[in-house]
Each structure stands twice: as C-alpha cells, then as structure tokens.
A and B are shown apart, each in its own frame.
Chain A
C-alpha cells in the first residue's frame, strides 16, 4: 500500500466489504473491521482465527468478507499471516498486497501471543489488528488477559469469594513495542479518525510488522444497550481507562492527552460487568488510573 490516504469521511470509499455478518446488533468489532477495510482496500488478505469475527463471517452460505480471507486456528493468527506473506514474497506478489492478521484480545494477548511474538521478532511484514472486546466473547464472555480488573465475566463471576477479575489488563502495546517493531498503536472505534489514521500508517510500513490494538465495545459482553457502543468507547478513553498511544521510531507517545479525565463512574455505571463495584472500589480504581497517567506522561 502506498500514497497518502485521506481519512476524512467524505473521502472514504463507498464500498462495503463486510455487509451481512452475523455479529450482534451494535457490535463494536465490526465497526473496526468495516473501517479497517475501507482504509486497507481490496489489495488485502486476511488471516482470522477463532473469534467472534470468524464465527460470524465464515459459515457458508453467509460469507460476507469481500477480501481473500483464510480462517485459521485460535493460536495461529500471526504465523498464518507470516506464511501468507512468505508465500506472496516467493511468488513476487508481496509488494502490492497488505497481509493482515485480525484477531480478538484473547487470540492476541493470550493463546496467540507466542505466534505474535515470533512474527514480530522475525520482522515479517504483516499488519496485525487486535480488536479488543476485553473477554472471550465468542465462547460466552470468559475472562482474557485483556479483561480489566474488577470486571465480571463468566469465569470471574464474583460469588461468595468475590472472585471478580483480579489482575489488571495486559499492556499489549508495550509488549509489542518491546520487540522494536517499526509501528504500533492503540486506538478505539469511537475515535474513527484516530483509528483510520493509525491504520493507514501501519499499512504503509514497508520494513517490518505493524500492530494496531483497537478497543471495540461489546453490548452483550459488557452488559449495556446496543446503541451505547460508540458512547462507551469514548468514555473509556475520556475517563483515562484506555489510553490512545503510538509507538513510532522507537518512541512511545500518548496521542490523546486528557486535560481533565471524565469521572470513572460515568464509564462503569452503564455496564453490567462493573455493576457490583462499590463507590470506594471505583475511587481506588480512579486512583490507579491517575497513577498510570503519571507514569506515562
């Protein structure tokens, strides 16, 4: 992919590449996939592992993706993409085609992290997109390494032992950046300009892997009404929970600084997965967020 890509809505292509998927009403992941394909265009090949996007696009006769797509095993996204890239390179076709691995947070932060690390370490020219709905949604909302502390999932159900998710969200971007790759960033579907700009940059990297981690709220998994998908993504960023950052030229920077953080409760309250949290707990979480911002800025 080459040339300057405009991310102004008016300049985006009309073509739709994933109409008719079976994702839930209000699915944030599909906002990410749709916009990504608008930026990446038709000279793109996808490798998708077991995840919501696979399960909702791969069952014949409902295969809506309009770019060549290879469905693969849950842990194998990055390696499959590497193989596609190697095959294209051998056949002399790699230059024109963007090879994309597209996986959920579980397929990236947990079971697929080894293959991802391998591909990043080898410097394979692939673009890896992790859409993050903060749990294993496809199998019914079990916790993943990207599930935030305090969240209820079906494997962190609270109960008498108060067994909510007890560990903080894995810092995927830092893990990825530690491989010293050319470009990596976090984004959120609620900031489409930011997301598409970063994607365009990632797609233009010509000397190695690039990585985009995009927050994509999920109505049934987080427990909120479907119309609030974009609103909640915005709140996650504006309350300082999910930080928009970019790793480029060996430097990490925050791309969306916050003059004032929105109250955390505004973000948490509409979501059933946080409903059990007490005001004190929310306050403690807010303090953790403040500390996190202090260390990065």
Chain B
C-alpha cells in the first residue's frame, strides 16, 4: 500500500457494495422447515413473515431456501393450513 494509491480502490475506505453476503446464515439452524406442497394454498403468509427472506414464491406454492433460513419456526407457526413442519436438523 502506498500513499499514492487512489483511496476508492483497495480497502481503505469503509464503504462496501450493498448485498455483499459471504456467510450463509442457514448454518445457524437447529430445526428445518419442511413444506408439504399438497397442503400449501399459496397464501404467502409465511413469505410475508419470514425475517430472513428465505422463502421464495412460485406459481402454485412457496419454496423454502435453506441457505438463509435460521429455522425460527415463524412460518410453521403462522401457516394457516399446517403445511410446514419443523424437523430437527440431522434427522
């Protein structure tokens, strides 16, 4: 690093591109949400309430992305049709 190095290059200014994400927070999970698509009526409540934006919307139902799902269980708790069940990781 030399003093002549332009400051906006290199890492000497604490500003970073938004949406930079290295860590997959799904690794924190203890329980995993499992969706029964048969029961899903696509009401999107789980999608609305997921604090981690882990749920994706599809044509007929939702899908749960496990990269960032922390396993909080909100989706299971709020699903009006009991389409989601929390299952212990590793089982």
Q: Do chains A and B touch in the complex (CB under 8 A)?
A: yes
Interface residues of A (CB under 8 A from B): 9-10, 12, 14, 16, 18-31, 34-35, 60-69, 189, 192, 219, 225-231
Chain A residue nearest in CB terms to B44: A9
Q: Which of A10, A16, A68 interacts with B53 by CB under 8 Å?
A: A16
* B22 partner residues in chain A, CB cutoff 8 A: 61-62
If A60-B16, A231-B77 touch, whether A19 touches B53 (CB-CB below 8 Å) is yes
B12 at interface by CB-CB < 8 Å: no
CB proximity of B77 to chain A, nearest CB, Å: 4
Interface residues on chain B, size class: 35 or more
A25 interface neighbour in B28, B44, B48, Cβ under 8 Å = B28
CA A20 – CA B16 in complex, angstroms? 15
Can you list 24 pairs linking A and B with CB atoms under 8 Å apart? A9-B44, A12-B48, A19-B21, A19-B68, A20-B21, A20-B24, A22-B25, A25-B29, A25-B70, A26-B74, A30-B51, A31-B50, A60-B16, A63-B17, A63-B20, A64-B18, A64-B21, A66-B18, A69-B18, A228-B77, A229-B49, A229-B51, A230-B77, A231-B77
Contact partner of B20 (CB less than 8 A), chosen from A14, A25, A62, A69, is A62
Counting from the closest, the 10 A-B pairs by CB-CB distance are A227-B73, A20-B21, A26-B72, A16-B53, A25-B70, A9-B44, A226-B72, A30-B51, A227-B77, A25-B72
- A19→B54 contact, CB < 8 A: yes
Instruction: Given A61-B20, A66-B18, answer yes or no on A30-B52 (Cβ-Cβ < 8 Å).
Output: yes
List A contacts of B25 (CB < 8 A).
Answer: 20-22
Instruction: Determine the chain B residues whose CB is within 8 A of the CB of A231 once the complex forms.
Output: 77-78
The residues of B with any CB-CB pair to A shorter than 8 Å are 14, 16-25, 28-29, 43-45, 47-54, 56-57, 68, 70-74, 76-78, 86
Q: Which residue of A lies closest to B53 (CB)?
A: A16
Return chain B residues, CB-CB under 8 Å to A62.
20-23
Nearest-CB residue, chain B, relative to A29: B51
Minimum Cβ distance to chain B for residue A63 (Å): 5
Q: Which residue of B lies closest to A56 (CB)?
A: B25
Asked if B51 and A192 make an inter-chain contact with CB atoms under 8 angstroms apart, the answer reads: no
